[in-house]
Structure 1
């Protein structure tokens, strides 16, 4: 038998691209030259995925300044002092804050997808930010003349359009990045915030047919930035029942970095539905140690004790560089981990087939 294996999203940017971004910001590189470097980075990313035998590829988010805020990058009605997200190592990321309506995306994921499709010879998946994350852009004090309900209506419309355009353009799947799920439990242990996130995301997902939702997945992890996380200390059991209430057909679960994966897998077996495919994380981008194919094989086989193999797949725990300035993981380390994932998953598939 074969088991699907997929990347989650970001790949560390090559040094030439990082240098080009810095030179452009300093006024020493024009926009056309910078775009050429972006093109080179996407081309190289896809070529390296395919050389490793990846059955599905992404653009590695080479053009995204941030996995979370790319849709609003460049909007003029934003302030810098939005929600602050602290990480375990002491650093933090701060979201922007909307200052006026109406809310519209400044960038569409379909543009990233089409740029990747120019170079790919295998299916291309597209990651998008979950609308629940973007809901954090609305300030708690409100906006004069633009209430929260009007904002949410606009957000749902924009998120639907972003997903639908990618599906219509031929994405093999669209992955909603829902890293704020576990964080929501940390911010609000009553789970009121988590419930509101699930309800908002389902407002978007319910606009798609059952066949379309089979191509829509949800990724969750405790964050991953500069080799640190924002919510790994939150018990997975506090998230998983609500997670599987999302009306999606595929789930990508961080698992390699869990201290007790069997406990998590028992929860997955209990709360997931038979029609939901589960991709388990088998490589940890936060850990600088490269997994061996044998470790990956064993992680997949352990998951198969709880999840029927026909519902099972493997993935990385999260993206390797979700913010463009994150240089904590080298590009070569990321590729070595991806190679181990692909080879180890094939070894597990052979074992399960036998």
Structure 2
């Protein structure tokens, strides 16, 4: 099994390693975003700045030796809200997500149907593929997160069932568009999974989320699902999280019921990694690949390659090496205005992940 898996990765690495998605926006892009918001530059100038930031991100990832690239989400307003770009039927008073340091993020509220994506992720993917010949991964928002747009008191002429049907169709189109455009893998960002257990400790909301996401995943073939993954983390933003205090034991068994071929699990920042690895090993779905987080994006200290190597070797004591990969715990800047981590720190941590994974593969003879 491991031979074919290696063959799709450049640089001869025997354990696959992938980014999660976002990288802090370049200073030039941040300046252009501020100028655009203030009306000092137009849409074309902003688009040019976004494209330059994508090109720079991809070039730097290639120079680090990343076998799988991302565009760093340089053009997205956030990992969660890109499908809402250009939509009018939204109000600003949607669900509020509190973080441990006291800051919050607020989703919009849908005010009318039918629900359609204003932007699909394949647009970002095609732009990224224009800058490289290496494999490119594309992150998309899980439909379970977008289900939170629908108000609790409903929309008179647009029942929730109609909204869910529209959401499932749009989420399928988002994923399928990326697969058809040539994504190496499509990753569903499912940070609301762990958060759901904080909102509803009974697990009922989590079960609803898993069921909704599976209604989308079941529309794909086994071969297609092998190129679809799910990412879970406690929601890193501005050096804080929204659900790191929620026990993984309540999430992971249900997470692995998702019909995906790859799982990206935040692990580096967990206080008891061995316990989490035991839970993963006990519930690992047949044939699924597990990418464990080996760098912590909200820790300002840059891990050494040797630390990363040791974290991979720890994971290999619990999980089959031929189904093991590495990733960063989370994206580095999931919202465009998050400047808590510098661009240089992010690239240094990614370099440590790539180098440390290679060291671990050498030690394991992978």
* Residue 73 (structure 1) shift: 2.2
In structure 2, the residue matched to 1:303 is: 315
- The counterpart of 1:80, out of the listed 63, 84, 92, is 92
Matched, 1:200 2:212: yes
Matched, 1:220 2:232: yes
- The counterpart of 1:321, out of the listed 333, 336, 340, is 333
C-alpha distance in 1 between matches for 2:42 and 2:280 = 49
In structure 2, the residue matched to 1:282 is: 294
Matched, 1:48 2:44: no
Q: Report Cα offsets for 1:110-163 as digits up to 9, x if no partner.
A: 000000000012100100000000000000010011000000000000000000
In structure 1, the residue matched to 2:76 is: 64
Matched, 1:30 2:38: no
In structure 2, the residue matched to 1:167 is: 179
In structure 1, the residue matched to 2:16 is: 4
Matched, 1:92 2:65: no
- The counterpart of 1:253, out of the listed 265, 269, 278, is 265
The within-5 A match list for 1:82-161 is 82-161=94-173
* Residue 272 (structure 1) shift: 1.0
C-alpha distance in 1 between matches for 2:70 and 2:313 = 26
Q: Report Cα offsets for 1:162-213 as digits up to 9, x if no partner.
A: 0001001110000000000000000000100000000000000000000100
Q: How many residues align?
A: 354
In structure 2, the residue matched to 1:345 is: 357
Runs of 4+ in 1 over 2 A off after TM superposition: none
TM-score by length of structure 1 reads 0.99
* Residue 33 (structure 1) shift: 1.2
C-alpha distance in 2 between matches for 1:289 and 1:74 = 38
* Residue 274 (structure 1) shift: 2.9
* Residue 74 (structure 1) shift: 2.2
C-alpha distance in 2 between matches for 1:166 and 1:177 = 14
Structure 1, unaligned runs of 5 or more: none
C-alpha distance in 2 between matches for 1:309 and 1:166 = 28
C-alpha distance in 1 between matches for 2:115 and 2:318 = 43
In structure 2, the residue matched to 1:293 is: 305
TM-score by length of structure 2 reads 0.96
C-alpha distance in 2 between matches for 1:121 and 1:156 = 32
Name the stretch that deviates more: 31-40 or 88-97: 31-40
C-alpha distance in 2 between matches for 1:263 and 1:103 = 41
Q: Report Cα offsets for 1:95-124 as digits up to 9, x if no partner.
A: 000000000000000000000000012100
In structure 2, the residue matched to 1:240 is: 252
